[in-house]
Structure formats: C-alpha cells, structure tokens
Structure 1
Amino acid sequence: MTLAAQAQTRTRVRWIVAGMMWAAIAINYVDRTVLSAAAPRIQSDFHLSAVQMGVVMSAFFWSYALLQLPAGILADRFGQKKVLGLAVLWWSLATAVTGFATGFKSLVALRVMLGIGEAGAYPSNAGIASRWFPRNERATVAGIFDSGSKLGGAVALPLIAVMLAVFDWKVTFAITGALGIVWCLVWQFMFRDSPSEHPRVNAAELAHIRDGLAPNAAEDKRNTVPWRKLFAHRNIWAMCIGFFMINYNSYFFITWLPTYLVKERGMGLMEMGVMASLPLLISMFTEVLAGWASDRVYSSGRLSLTATRKLFLIVGLTMASSIGLAAFAQSAVMAVVLLCFAKSGMTVAASQVWALPADVAPKNMVSMVAGVQNSVSNMGGVVGPIVTGAIVGATGSFVAALVFSSALIVLAIINYLFLLGKVEPIEFEPPPMELENHERNNANARA
C-alpha cells in the first residue's frame, strides 16, 4: 500500500456492492415465493389438479439446478455485471408476465423461464465477492448476500399475502416483477466488474481490496482450465457433498415445516404462520453475524483460513444436527426453539459455504465453481421434500424423517472434517502446448 493510499480515508463502496448483492438474492426469493402464496387462486382460476399444481411449482427447479454451471461459466467469461444484470432482468420479466398465463402449459413455461434467470444469481455473487472483497471479509459478504434468501422466505410471504388481498394475483406478479427491473437500472449505473474501474473507489479502498486478494482474483479473464477438471479435485467434491446435505435439511423449512407444525404439533394456521417464519428470521441475522465473526477470527491470525472455515462449518453443523432432537421435544414451543437453533446452525455453515468458491477456485473460475456447488446442492432441495414425504407417508410421523435429516448433517460434518483439504486456490498443470509456449517464452526472455 502506497503512502498516499495510507493517508486517505478509505471509501466503502464495496459494502454498497454487498447491499446490491443482498437485494438481488432477496428479490430472487420474493419472485420464487409469489407463486406459493397465489397458488390457491391460480389453481382455482385455471381448474388445475393438485398434481398439475405440483408440476408447476417444481418446474422452476428443472432449469435452475441444471443451469448453475453454464451461468457460472458465462459470468466468468463475460463479467458478473452483464450476467447478473441480465439474469435479474430476465427473471423479473418472467415474473411480471406470469399474469398473462392462460393455463397449465404457459405456467410451466414461465416457471422454467424464471429458473433460467435465477440460475445466474448465486454464481455471479460468488464471483463478485472474489474481486471486490479481500479474503478476511469474504465470509461476511457471503453471509450478507445469502441472508437475502431468508428475508424472501420469511418476510415476503405475509407482504405478498396482503397484496393478493388488495389486488388481483395478476397485478401482484407485475408488482413483484417490477422490483427486479428497478434493481437492474440501479445496477447498471453503480456497479463495475473491477473495483479499479469504479469512479467512487479511492486508492485506499482499492489497496485494501488488492492487499487481501488471493492469486485467483487477477483481472485477466483468460481461462484455459476445462471445467470438467474441477471434478478431479477433492475440495470440489467436499464442497458439493456437504452443501447437498445442508440444502436437504434447509428445504424442510420452506416445504414441510408448516405441515409438521399443524399436523404433528397441533398448531392453528395463524400460530403456524408466525412459528414457521421464526427459524428463517432468526437465521437471517445469525448468518451475517457468523460471517463477520469468522472473518474476525481469520484476521486475528490465530487460525489459518482452512482452520477458520472448518471451525465455523463444524460448529454450525453441530447446531444444525439438533433438527433430530426436535422430533422428541415434549412441547411444540421446545420443538420450535430447537428448529430455530438448527436452522441458525445451517446458516452459520452457509456463511462459509458461500465463501469457499472464492477461496479455492482457480484463477477466473470462481463463478463456475459456485455454479457447480449450487447445482449439486439444489439436488438436495429437490430430493429432500420427496424423501421426507415418503418417510412420513410410510411411518405416519415426522420423527424418522427428522432423525434421518440429522444423520445427514453428521455425514456432512465428517465430509468437511476429512474430505475438505487445505483451503487455497486450486492449481492445475497447464496443457502441454501452453506449457511448451511458456517455456519458449522464458527461453526467449533469457536470451
């Protein structure tokens, strides 16, 4: 850092960027949630069967999970500003025009279109974190932007319910879609792919960012490593396996939890609505706090980056394993307390999960690595509700389903302890032709 940079008061533009990343994820989840809230009216208006409505609700995941990797590749190649901006615009338009749907087929098509757009959100955010934030701030920013998903799941639902009561469901889709369009306009004016290109980032902030960047954050966008080679590295497997198991558990809170509280714990609909939102609301703040705390631990120098990531992953997942204890709670209140504790633990782990792509990805492949991780993890979101339903259907109770969920968390702990290796940028040997050219260039330079 130069003397001039040291003398300046550091600007904080990167935290405005973090706020925009958070808003993108919050809007992402708001637009996913609208259909769930409007489902009874849509099902009635179009005379859809329960099976057809289930297909409509799941159609989003078909494209969302499959396109995570392609979205990451595009973000690394063309820049996160273009890809994230286009992604938000795409899914916002898909949401806004849902009011023009004419029946089952058009609803399915529009939900697939929504998934295509939303696939670009998390991979792009991970890439932005790698370029705009030093390593000792990445868990904080990961906790910030991922906490937007909890807001979308907990707060948006009652707000959307109010809009549905005041407006027609078609108007509600148009209003929520407009949120993302406004976000896109702000994004285009205020964001740059590189902090060095931003007019409001001063030398002190730029030096702070660059001093804490890993070698994989270089601004050269050339990439010669085939994405398939990522699957040869143990850390990529560990990240995917662990996040799959975390997401398996996380989706319980936005799929089966209301049914559990009503049927297993005897709650009325109003009480259930409040209690079901508590785990998401509490975990939203827990995730940001956990990310901040882990960055403070790493910055102190007491633990290496590997030890810090593993510590918070294991602590968070140990908390998450209490989902199994909720099955045996004597009262509904205690069950909800344990579920809040479990969901908070999942977000403690998530603050590290979303920091890992920037920590381990090869140069200019952060969004790609994040896409691989999120694609596999969302398979947990697809499989989890199905398996839980099958266990509940076979046993007539949620006890075995919650115990099974807890067992998967234990496996996730073992995975992160032993399969996840040293947290550092992955390096691959260059292809033979590139290596030959490199050696020739070195020889010419010596000559």
Structure 2
Amino acid sequence: MRETLQAQGRTRVRWVVAGMMWAAIAINYIDRTVLSAAAPRIQSDFHLSAVQMGIVMSAFFWSYALLQLPAGMLADRFGQKKILGLAVLWWSLATAVTGVATGFKSLVALRVALGVGEAGAYPSNAGIASRWFPRKERATVAGIFDSGSKLGGAVALPLIAFMLALFDWKITFAITGVLGIVWCIVWQFVFRDSPGEHPRVNAAELAHIRDGQTPNAGDTARNTVPWRKLFAHRNIWAMCIGFFMINYNSYFFITWLPTYLVKERGMGLMEMGVMASLPLLISMFVEVLAGWASDRVYASGRLSLTATRKLFLIVGLLMASSIGLAAFAHSAAMAVVLLCIAKSGMTVAASQVWSLPADVAPKNMVSMVAGVQNSVSNMGGVVGPIVTGAIVGATGSFVYALLFSAALIVLAIINYLFLLGKVEPIQFDEYPMELMHHEPRKV
C-alpha cells in the first residue's frame, strides 16, 4: 500500500498552507511595525517623551500577551480556520483606523485594540503545523511561518520611511490595513482545518502527513485536560522563560531600533529605513535555513529530538549575544553588522521555539501550549520597550540598554541547557482516555 501511494506521487498542498501561514505573520508584523517606523515623526508631532513613547510601543503587547492563551484555547476548540481568519480581519481593521489617533491616550487605546486581533496568529499557526506537517518537517515550517515576521518588519521599515517622505503618516495605517483583508478572502478558499478534508490533498500526501505525526496531532478530538496543569511541567516553564528573554531582545528591532539608528548613530530617515531593515531581512533567510537544517539533522538519526532542539537553541543564542557588542561598535556600519548577527541568532533559536509546542503538547492542545508560551514570552514585549526607554532616558544612551539585553540572552542559554528536559509529548495518565476524545463544538 505504501509503495502504491509513493508511486502515485504526493501533492504539496501543505506547502501552500505554509505559504498562507507565512503571509499571515508577514502582514501581522507589517501592521505592528508601522508605528515603530513612524515613531520619530509621531513622537515629534504629539510631543511625547521617551517614556511615553515606550508606553505607546508596549501597549500593543498588553492585550497581545494576555490573550494568547484564550486565543489558543479558541483555536483548539473551534478550529484554526475560523480563529485565524477572524484574528487577521480584526487586526487589519484596527490598523486601518490607527491613523485617527490624536495623541498619547488614543495611540495607547488603538495599539491595545491591535493586540487583541494579533493574539490569534501564532497559537493558530502552531496548531496548523501540528495537523498539517509530520514531525520531520516541523522545524522547517516553523522557520517558514515565523520568518514572515522578519520580512514584515524588513518591508515595513523602508517602505514606511519612503511613504513618510511622500505622505502624512496617518495615511500609511489605512493602506497597510487593506493587506490583511485581502488575505482573509483568500484564506477562506485555500484552507481546511484537517488535511483529510481538503479536496486537493491526495492519499499519498495525507499518508505522509499522518505517518510522521506525534500522538498530539489529532484532527478533531478535543482535549479536556485543564490548561492550568500544563504549568506542572518543567518544559512548559523552560519554554516560557527562554522565549521571554528572546522576545525581550527581538522586539528591540521593531520598537527602538529606528530611534537608535537616528539618535545614537546619526542616520537620516531614508538611511535608517534601509539599515533597520537589514537585520530583519537577513534573519528571515537564516531562520528558514536553520529550520531546514535542524530537520535534516534530526531525520538523519545522528541526534535525538531533544539534542537537536537544544543544539540549535544554544548556537542561535550565542549569536544573539552579540547585541551587547553593538553597544561598543565604533561605527554605525559595524553596529548594524553586529545587530544583523544578533537578530539572525534569535531566529535560529526561534525556529526551534516554534517547533516545541507541537513536540511537547498533549493531544489536541498544541494551540493552547503555543498560547501559553507566547503569552509569557510577549511580556518581554510589554516590559522591553518601557525598560529600554527608561534606561535611555536615565543615561542618555543605548549602551546600557543593549548590555542588559545581552545579559538576558546569557540567562536564556542557561535556561535551555538546564531547565528544558526531554522533548516529548506531555502525558496526563490520570485522565481516562474517554475524556480525551470529545467531538469539538460546532459553530
């Protein structure tokens, strides 16, 4: 039977799905990065202090971080198609109306609204990866969809800088909001929650997906294990703590980096737009390559899944620690080079970070585990811009802010080395199996 399916040839619909996942994250980051690219102009127009601007930048993460778990629970309960589609539509509308902001308070409120919608993106994508891809392709698809965040930022920064030179910054928000609405229309026709329900997935591709999946990748069953029990496991804590420290660093590149290049390194607006995009653009390709490479290492049998994940996490974080060296760079060009290395290292780690939920989640709780991880990690996005703004405001320089970021990377390395245990699905043996296979609620 297997030989017959192989002779038939597999369709590749799962990679079309991966492309849609990538596009959702790219649009996600374009919409959240618009404010960062326009920050110098907005700060000047509304006469905001560095601390106020830090609060505005972090406001998005208040709702985004808090709603990760509910978004993951909804995606597991009602399906990723509905939840991700609704999420993209919500955040696109929130982006489009951000141009009506009139000052500090309205900017904060609109950024909170944006975070409500964007909370559904990553938990939904993690759930899709578990259902549509076998384990040996898991890091590749994680690298693909998360790389959309780097392209989104890389495209947004120079594009917004160019648009700012031509138009008022408020027009930009309306234009970028349209992208997500177009994506939503395509999504409804392209995606199904289960590959078995997709009319263009043939038997060979379906067998390839199902043969390489772990027990947590069921198509329809709903797990009734309380989400609070997840916190009894050390791997969940390790995933959350490590990703918090990575995200604290990552969000520097889409919040304070443009201001750093303009005020600390003396760049003009157009030069800033190009230079600020380089770490994101380069890291996009690095992340996909890292995901592919880790899948090849694991598939070769030379390393266990645990050793593979830890190897790429540590190598990536060692690269990421170069963010501290950028503080002492004698030239703007060298600072940008070091920041490119740092951001690329963060994405090497991220290709593994976004594989872990599908690796360790109990049956049909992948989106929920991803939501827990992303909720805690994005507290780094809440505190990061504020702490950076406070350090810059107190010292008049970014030097100590960058050194503090590097110190957190060192702690992340220790966390993944010693707290993260064996990478395998979490088992809840005390729950009868019949409680683990209820049909999902129909809506």
TM-score, normalisation: structure 1: 0.90
One-letter amino acid of the counterpart of residue 204, structure 1? A
Structure 2 Cα separation of the partners of residues 2 and 402 of structure 1: 54
Name the residue aligned to 1:65: 65
Q: Distance in 2 between matches of 1:272 and 1:265?
A: 9
In 1: Cα distance, 2:101 partner to 2:246 partner: 35
Instruction: Please name the residue that 1:11 is paired with.
Output: 11
Distance in 2 between residues matched to 1:161 and 1:323, nearest whole Å: 24
Q: Could you tell me whether the CA contact under 8 Å between 1:153 and 1:280 is conserved in 2? A: yes
Worse-matched range after superposition: 72-81 or 382-391: 382-391
For structure 2, the residue ranges without an aligned partner over 5 or more in a row are 436-443
1:277 positional shift: 1.8
**Contact 1:225 1:430 (C-alpha < 8 Å) held by counterparts:** no
**Separation in 2, partners of 1:259, 1:53:** 11
Deviation at 1:208, TM superposition (A): 0.7
1:110 counterpart = 2:106? no
Q: Which has the larger radius of gyration?
A: 1
Alpha-carbon distance in structure 2 between the residues aligned to 1:62 and 1:172: 23
Q: Which residue of 2 aligns with 1:342?
A: 342
Whole-angstrom distance in 1 between the partners of 2:400 and 2:62: 28
Q: 1:96 to 1:275 in 2, by over 3 A?
A: closer
- What is the CA-CA distance between 1:160 and the residue it aligns to? 3.0
Number of equivalences? 434
Question: Are the structure 2 counterparts of residues 111 and 333 from structure 1 closer, same or farther at C-alpha, using a change threshold of 3 Å?
Answer: closer
The aligned counterpart of 2:211 is: 211
Q: Which amino acid aligns with 2:383?
A: V
Cα drift, residue 169 of structure 1 = 4.6
In structure 2, distance between residues paired with 1:41 and 1:337: 26
Displacement of 1:163: 4.0
Could you tell me how far 1:30 is from its partner in structure 2?
1.3
**Which residue does 2:135 correspond to in 1?**
135
Q: Report the alpha carbon displacement of residue 268 of structure 1 after superposing the two structures with TM.
A: 4.1
TM-superposed deviation, 1:177: 1.5
Deviations 1:298-356 (A, max 9, x none): 11111111111011001111111122222233433222222211111110000000110
> What residue in structure 2 maps to residue 384 of structure 1?
384
Aligned twin of 2:398 = 398
Residue in structure 1 matched with residue 286 of structure 2 by the alignment: 286
Query: Residue deviations 1:170-195, cap 9 Å, x none?
Result: 54333222211111111111100111
Q: Extract unaligned runs of 5+ from structure 1.
A: 439-447
Matched-pair contact (CA < 8 Å) for 1:74–1:83: yes
When structure 1 is superposed on structure 2, of 166-175 and 210-219 the one drifting more is 166-175
CA shift in 2, pair 1:161/1:276, >3 Å = closer
**Percent identity between the aligned chains?**
89
Q: Is the 8 A contact 2:159 2:273 kept in 1?
A: no
**Alignment deviations for residues 332-386 of structure 1 (CA, whole Å, 9 cap, x no partner):** 3222222211111110000000110011001111011111111111111222233
Q: In structure 2, how many angstroms separate the alpha carbons of the residues matched to 1:137 and 1:382? A: 32
Matched, 1:364 2:364: yes
Deviation at 1:58, TM superposition (A): 3.4
Q: Is 1:96–1:178's contact at 8 Å kept on the other side of the alignment?
A: yes
Q: Any conservation in 2 of the 1:97–1:174 contact (CA below 8 Å)? A: yes
Amino acid at match of 1:97: V
User: 2 CA distance for matches of 1:163 and 1:216?
Assistant: 46
Aligned residues of 1:77 and 1:221 also touching (Cα < 8 A): no
Distance, in Å, in 2 between the alignment partners of 1:193 and 1:270 is: 43
- More off after superposition, 283-292 vs 325-334: 325-334
Identify the structure with bigger relative contact order (alpha carbons < 8 Å, sequence gap 6+): 2
Aligned-partner residue type, residue 6 of structure 2: Q
Mean CA deviation greater in 247-256 or 91-100: 91-100
Structure 2 vs 1, CA of residues 257 and 34 (structure 1 numbering), >3 Å: closer, same or farther? closer
Matched to 1:385, the amino acid is P
Query: Could you tell me how far apart the structure 2 residues matched to 1:367 and 1:412 are?
Result: 23
Deviation at 1:43, TM superposition (A): 6.8
Instruction: Measure the CA separation in 2 of the matches of 1:407 and 1:48.
Output: 32
Q: 1:83 corresponds to which residue?
A: 83
Determine the C-alpha separation between the residues in 1 that align with 2:291 and 2:48: 43
SS across alignment from 1:327: helix
Give the TM-score taking structure 2 as reference length.
0.91
User: In the TM superposition, what are the counterparts of 1:40-439 in structure 2 within 5 Å?
Assistant: 49-50=48-49, 55-99=55-99, 106-166=106-166, 169-431=169-431, 434=432
Q: Distance in 2 between matches of 1:342 and 1:40?
A: 24
Give me the whole-angstrom Cα distance separating, in 2, the residues matched to 1:400 and 1:53: 19
Supply the distance in 1 between the matched residues of 2:375 and 2:309 (Cα, whole angstroms): 21
Amino acid at match of 1:369: V
**Contact 2:59–2:382 (Cα < 8 Å) also in 1:** no
What is the deviation of 1:89?
1.0
1:258 to partner: Cα distance: 3.2
CA distance in 2, matches of 1:203, 1:362: 27
Give the Cα separation in 2 of the matches to 1:52 and 1:400.
20
Matched residue, 1:445: none
- Could you tell me whether the CA contact under 8 Å between 1:326 and 1:334 is conserved in 2? yes
How far does residue 404 in structure 1 lie from its aligned partner after superposition?
A: 2.4
1:396 CA drift (Å) = 4.2
Work out the CA distance in 2 between the residues paired with 1:163 and 1:268: 15
Task: After TM superposition, give the deviation of residue 216 of structure 1 in Å.
Answer: 0.6
8 A contact 2:287–2:344 mirrored in 1: yes
| CA–CA separation in structure 2 for the residues paired with 1:390 and 1:171 | 30
Rate the CA distance shift 1:19–1:193 in 2: closer, same or farther, 3 A: same
The Cα of 1:261 is off from its aligned counterpart by 3.3
User: Which residue number corresponds to residue 441 of structure 1?
Assistant: none
Amino acid at match of 2:84: L
RMSD across aligned positions (CA)? 2.4
The question of whether the paired residues in 1 share the 8 Å contact of 2:67 and 2:119 is answered with: yes
* Residue type of the alignment partner of 1:80: Q
Deviation at 1:55, TM superposition (A): 4.8
